[in-house]
Structure 1
Amino acid sequence: MTSKCHLYFPPSVAILIIISSYYVYVIGFCVYVIQDLLASCLYIVFLNILFIMFLWSFLSTVATPVARVPLEYQLTLEELENYHRVDNQNKDLLLKTIKSKRNLVLHMCTAQGSIRYCTLCSQIKPDRAHHCSVCGFCVLKMDHHCGWVNNCVGFSNYKSFILMLFYCNMYCIYFTSTTLEYFISYLNAPDKRYLPVVVGFGDILIVIIFVMAAFLGLMGGVFFLFHCGLVFRNETTLEKLQESIFVQQNSSYNLGCFKNFTEVFGKDWRLWLFPVFSAEVIYIAISEKNLTP
C-alpha cells in the first residue's frame, strides 16, 4: 500500500491546483476585485462551465477502466504448455495455428514478420495493443501511461483524455485573459492592496495563480495540439515514437481526417464535447493503394 502512494500524488496535485485556482478566482477576484455585480456573476458562470467540464473529463480519464485484451487472444493452459515446449523456430507457427483456428484478424506483426505475442500476459497481442509496465497488462490501442491521471490512456478513455487537455487549456486561457488587466495593474503598483485582509491571502496569490495558469495553458496547449495531430492521422504516441509494422506492406490506419476523428469521438456530433465513450470500433489497416481512385 505504501509503495503505491507516489502514484496518487500527481493526480492529487492536479486536483489541488485546479481547486485552488477556482477559489482564488471566485472569492479573491470576482467577489473582491470586480465591482460590477453583473460582470462578476457572468465571470463565475463561464468559469463554472469550464471548471465542471474539465473536472468531469479529468475524473473520467482517471476512473475509466482500461480496455484489456479480449479472452480469445489468451492462450489456454494446453496451448501455453505447447508454446513453452516447442523451440523458438516453431513458436510462431504455433501462434499462427491458434490465430487461424480462432479466426483472429491481425494486420500488425513484429520486425521479423512474426505474430506479436506478450510473454508476460501469455497472450497474442491484438493490433495496436501494447504491454504497460505500470499497469502490468496489455492495453488496447495504448497511447501512453499518464502519471497525472494514474491511468493508462488508450481505447477506452482517449476521448476523455483529449477533452481533459482541451478544457484545461480553455480554463487557463479564460483565467489569464480575464485577470490580465488586474495582473498588469499589480505589476505597475505592487504596493496597492486590492484585497482586504479578511480574505486570508494577499494580491500576490492571484499573481502566482495567474503565472501558473499561463504556464499550464502554454504547456497544455502544446500537448493538446500534439494529440490533435495524432487524432487526425490516426496515430498513438507509441506509434509516433516507433513506426508500426504491418503484414501487408504500404498499409496504414489513416482513414482520412474525418474518419480518423470519428474513430475517437464517434459520429454523433452532440457527444463530441462530452467525456462519454462514443468511439467507433475500427481496427482496419487499409492499403494506401486502395485510397487512390
Structure 2
Amino acid sequence: MTFKCHYYLPPFVVILIQTLAFYAYIIGFCVYILNDVLISCLYILIFNSLFIMFTWSFLSAACTSVALVPTEYVLTDEELYRYERENEVNKDLLLQNILIRRNLVAYERTCNGYIRYCKVCNQIKPDRAHHCSTCGLCVLKMDHHCGWINNCVGFTNQKNFVLMLFYSTGFCIYFIGTTMDCFLLYLNTQDRKYIPVVLGFLTATFLGMITSIFGLFHFSLLFRNKTTLERLQAKTFTGTGEHPNYDLGCLRNFTEVFGTNCILWPCPIFSGKGDGVMFPVVEA
C-alpha cells in the first residue's frame, strides 16, 4: 500500500491533544494551582490511570492488524479465469461450487441473491466481511474505517475501539469534574495562571460530548451484535430475503466481543470468541 502522510494526521492530532491535556492537568492544575499535596497526588494517580488506559486502547485499536479473509476463500488463477468469462448467473453457480468443494460457509447474499464476491481481492466474502477502499483489502467483521486511528475497526480490534471511546469519555468527564472550579474562578478573576487549565477544560467538554455520543452508539451496536455497516445497510440471507439475526441477547452479544473472562474486560487486548468467519445466529 502507498504511504500517505495525510492518513497519519488525525492520529497525530489525538496524540498532540493528549500531550497538551497531560501538561495542562499535571503541571498547570495539580502542581501550580492545587495547594493540598495529598489531594494533588490522588488526582494525579486517577488522571494517569485514565490517561494510560486511553492511550493503551487507542494504540491497540490503531496498531492491531485487521483480520483478513482466509486464503481458502481466494479464487485460484484458473477459477478466476473462468469466473471473469461467465455471466452473472453462472458466476454465482461457480462460486457456489467452490464453497461446496472447499467445505466453506457463506450465508449472506447480495440484494440480488448472489454470493458476495470482492472483485478487487478476487475472493468470496465470508459473512460480515467487507472490502475497505481505504485499506485496499477485505476485513473480517468490518465495522467501519476510522480515520482517527488510521485503521479499520473489525473483528480483531472492535473491543479495543469500544474501550477507547469508553476511556476517552471517562477521561474527559474526570477532567471537567475536577477543574470546574478553576474554570469558574477564571471567569470571575481573569487570572492568567488558569488559562492552560481553562483551555483543557473547554477541549475536554467539546471532545467529551463527541466521544460520549459515539460511545453510546457503539455500545448500543455491541449489545445488539451489529456493526455500523449492518446498521446502515440491510443484507440478505441465503435465499430467504431476511436479514441474518446475530442478536443473541445482550449478555451473549457482549461476550462475543469481550469474552467470558471478566478480568480481561477492561483491558484492550483481544478476548472475544470465534474466528471472524463463522458467527452464531438466532434460528428463525
TM-score, normalised to structure 1, is 0.92
Pick from 276, 280, 283: which aligns with 2:279?
283
Q: Distance in 1 between the 2:11 and 2:243 partners?
A: 41
What residue in structure 1 maps to residue 232 of structure 2? 241
Q: Distance in 2 between the 1:84 and 1:2 partners?
A: 27
1:196-245 deviation line (CA, Å, top 9, x unaligned): xxxxxxx2222111101011011100100000000000000001011221
Counterpart code for 2:201: F
Question: Over aligned residue pairs, what C-alpha RMSD do you find?
Answer: 1.4
Partner of 2:4, secondary structure, is: helix
Partner of 1:286, secondary structure, is: coil
1:24-50 deviation line (CA, Å, top 9, x unaligned): 100010001000000000000000100
Provide closer, same or farther for how the CA distance between residues 250 and 243 of structure 1 changes in structure 2, counting only shifts above 3 A.
Answer: closer
What residue in structure 2 maps to residue 220 of structure 1? 211
Q: Distance in 2 between the 1:57 and 1:271 partners?
A: 13
Q: Distance in 2 between the 1:2 and 1:256 partners?
A: 42
Partner of 1:138, secondary structure, is: strand
Q: What is the 5 A alignment of 1:157-196?
A: 157-190=157-190, 192-193=191-192, 195=193
Q: What is the 5 A alignment of 1:110-259?
A: 110-190=110-190, 192-193=191-192, 195=193, 203-247=194-238, 248=240, 249=242, 251-259=244-252
What residue in structure 2 maps to residue 12 of structure 1? 12
Structure 1 residue runs without a partner (length 5+): 196-202
Q: Distance in 2 between the 1:87 and 1:215 partners?
A: 53
User: For this pair of structures, how many residues does the alignment match?
Assistant: 279
**Maintained 8 Å contact 2:244/2:281:** yes
**Maintained 8 Å contact 1:107/1:285:** no
**Maintained 8 Å contact 2:182/2:197:** no
Counterpart code for 2:214: F
Pick from 242, 257, 268: which aligns with 1:264?
257
Partner of 1:86, secondary structure, is: coil
What residue in structure 2 maps to residue 199 of structure 1? none
Q: How far does residue 113 in structure 1 lie from its aligned partner after superposition?
A: 1.0
1:90-142 deviation line (CA, Å, top 9, x unaligned): 10000000011111111211111110000111000000000000000100000
**Maintained 8 Å contact 1:172/1:216:** yes
Q: Distance in 1 between the 2:243 and 2:7 partners?
A: 40
Q: Distance in 2 between the 1:258 and 1:102 partners?
A: 34
Q: Distance in 2 between the 1:88 and 1:235 partners?
A: 30
**Maintained 8 Å contact 1:254/1:260:** yes
Identity, % of aligned positions: 56
